[in-house]
Chains A and B, each alone.
Chain A
């Protein structure tokens, strides 16, 4: 009992220390705010957007930003601001699910490779090296051309592409952890490898994993936007940010806002997630993590 109390107290202390560290870096709050804002929009966007995301007002094509249209209109007279708000849902669903998938698969592979070591590690890591050797966007395009472009396939691609990075981080942490005493103790207690991996090691992998996941998320946003820009995976009139940039590109000299709006949204969200990920790192991994 007392043990639990101390644990809880130390946890509180750790979090408090983390909080103190955080306050020195206001960028983290900006990051959390940006991520939170777009997350909120992902949920309630269609309710608060001033116009429907696919509503065409052909008489109001390519209007510059104004009070009626905060970020102007595109070539179909659609409100760019509304499309960005509504489009954030897709960003979170596609990039988020993709990241989650990568984390789950990468975690499993990393745990197995790190824990068993030797031949298993060797085989898995070399396979992952192969995956790393191909430029990610190229690989994504090849997969999408083969599987056929659809939203669920984009999620699969993101998940697949980021397995190597996640599993390497997990593996390096596991390599460090598996020589620790609590793992030795668990082995002596006769726990199965599965139980050691998931009950003893996994909780300690979580902090670096959370940081890694947030970083992957920012990469995933960019990748999904790139694929959308190339017209892979999303179909018009979807308010996908990348697709919006692609559609607006030909109109750039007439209507810069239609391109800068969604491009800016991608940039802001990626930077926001980056700030957030930085903050998480400071909060959860004060000593830094070996990568």
Chain B
């Protein structure tokens, strides 16, 4: 009888726990000292960082933290354009042949240790990122830079070996917060010119920042930025824990909000959800150098068999726009080939599969990471392809295995990769869709695309460039190696007291927190 009782109690307790976990907890409320827009400590939460050295930034947290303490030579704004007013370079100009770029630095900008920013620090930062011996992923981005010269304290000259229409954007890449040249090891301490200075770091627990009293930026009325007294960054490894912390009032702000929480937060009167269309997309690649996807008919059959809107609705709450199976989305405005979506046609898919010799059906393994919303995409794709006679076996692996030492994502025949929003389409082309691209996960090699991509890389005329990108997109639609069901909106959740948030179409981390403030 005793055991029975224990079992009953255990049952009741477990039910109670489930309910309790869904309920709202009341967090400790700190009353900040406020004066107008000034004051208050922003609390946010996300996964723990991988690297505090911005040259090796590889995660969202790495990037976000570097943006607190660092500034960029060229600031990429919410609309994917360089913004001089927020850049360390006061102005820039390019020579007639497009090979020499001259940047003039702001005067009087000081690092957290009181040393003034000079051209030496900029050269130090970018030489580090170009250094093959350091082994960073940025070496490829800056391969076109021949040398960096510093004729005087406030002038930096970049000499290129070929013209690059994306140079400004590349110099504003997220690896590039300008470091103090005397830094030593940037992993150990972070000294930049940013609005917030590192106060403490407890690995795997939290990192705190305090306001930089000497920050150079001013708001429109000439008041000094930032408004916040500091930032407290908690490391929470679970999206559900992050969202509950936000709802419970333990944190004020969350970037990369998982879409399934949007309805919950929107129905909460104390919460605000911010959205912005971005080029973040989930590539379902079809490895085109071997069976079965070596046959373009199989790729076309898969393209006809999936229903992109259903995937967007089912896996991402409909918060985005459907894709056209190319990596270039509507966020790129005039670069985007705006044509209607391919309608779902299961009969056509079956016919194409039969022509390719798979009349009796086809079995493929879909490798997917355990990262929302990837399993959901996989689950829906499986059902949709089943109707066309394709049996999809889903193999779920943790993200660190997917991108791990064995590079599963570069080996798998059929797998789902999350691609972040880049500031320019050229990055996708040179990283993944040319014959010798480092991350050519679909093993696609199309001479015409290679030639067009090389052309776009040096085309300074935006109109001509748009024409080239449109041709490339048409090739992706005709014979490409990927399915792109949708382009996801970037999502943020915040307490409604937090004001001044401007959602960015660049990266979820690229929100300008210097102008964010608490309302009383």
Contact = CB atoms under 8 A, between A and B. Distances in A.
Contact of A54 (B375, B376, B383, B395): B383
Contacts of B314: 56, 58, 61, 75-77
A263 B18 contact: yes
Interface in A233-280: 235-237, 247, 249-254, 256, 259-260, 263-264, 267, 271, 274-275, 278
A239 to B, nearest CB: 12
B44 interface: no
Contact of A275 (B7, B10, B370): B7
Contacts of A58: 310, 313-314, 380
B264 A254 contact: yes
Interface string B247-266: 00000000000101101100
Interface string B445-479: 00000000000000000000000000000000000
B258 A250 contact: yes
A74 to B, nearest CB: 10
Contacts of A256: 22
B392 to A, nearest CB: 10
A273 B391 CA distance: 36
Contact of B393 (A56, A76, A235, A271): A235
A247 B11 CA distance: 22
Nearest to B259: A250
A18 interface: no
A259 B10 CA distance: 18
A237 B382 contact: yes
A76 B15 CA distance: 25
B306 interface: no
Interface in B343-393: 370, 372, 375-376, 378-380, 382-383, 393
A231 interface: yes
A249 B396 CA distance: 17
A247 B382 CA distance: 16
B4 A56 contact: no
Given A56-B314, A76-B376, A253 B264 contact: yes
B3 interface: yes
Given A75-B376, A251-B260, A275-B7, A231 B382 contact: no
A267 B4 CA distance: 14
A27 interface: yes
Contacts of B10: 271
Contact of B4 (A55, A264, A278): A278
B93 interface: no
B404 to A, nearest CB: 12
B270 interface: no
B147 interface: no
B25 to A, nearest CB: 13
A235 B3 contact: no
Contacts of B379: 56, 76, 236-237
Nearest to A61: B314
Contacts of B21: 252
Contacts of B22: 252-253, 256
B50 interface: no
A254 B263 CA distance: 8
Contacts of A254: 260, 263-264
B422 to A, nearest CB: 27
Contact of A236 (B4, B263, B375): B375
B4 A237 contact: no
Contacts of A264: 15
A110 B1 CA distance: 29
Given A76-B314, A267-B14, A275-B7, A236 B264 contact: no
Contact of B260 (A75, A231, A236, A259): A75
Interface in B174-219: none
Given A56-B383, A236-B378, A250-B372, A278 B11 contact: no
Interface residues of A, number: 31
Nearest to A218: B7
Interface in B1-52: 1, 3-4, 7-8, 10-11, 14-15, 18, 21-22
Contact of A231 (B18, B393, B396): B396
B239 interface: yes
A77 B370 CA distance: 20
Contact of A260 (B7, B18, B260): B18
A32 to B, nearest CB: 14
A163 to B, nearest CB: 23
B246 to A, nearest CB: 12
Nearest to A234: B396
A245 B147 CA distance: 56
A150 to B, nearest CB: 10
Contact of B240 (A75, A236, A250): A250
Nearest to B258: A250
A61 B313 CA distance: 10
B432 interface: no
B260 A274 contact: no
B396 A274 contact: no
Interface string B99-119: 000000000000000000000
B375 A259 contact: no
B515 interface: no
A268 to B, nearest CB: 8
A54 B387 CA distance: 13
Given A58-B310, A75-B376, 8 more contacts: A55-B383, A58-B313, A235-B394, A247-B375, A254-B263, A259-B18, A263-B18, A278-B4
29 contacts: A54-B382, A56-B380, A58-B310, A61-B313, A75-B376, A76-B376, A76-B383, A231-B396, A235-B394, A235-B395, A236-B382, A236-B394, A237-B379, A237-B382, A247-B375, A250-B239, A250-B258, A252-B22, A252-B240, A254-B263, A254-B264, A256-B22, A264-B15, A267-B14, A267-B15, A271-B7, A274-B3, A274-B7, A278-B4
Interface of B: 1, 3-4, 7-8, 10-11, 14-15, 18, 21-22, 239-240, 258, 260-261, 263-264, 310, 313-314, 370, 372, 375-376, 378-380, 382-383, 393-396, 398
Interface of A: 25, 27, 54-56, 58, 61, 75-77, 231, 235-237, 247, 249-254, 256, 259-260, 263-264, 267, 271, 274-275, 278
Closest 7 CB pairs of A and B: A253-B264, A250-B260, A274-B7, A58-B314, A235-B394, A236-B379, A56-B383
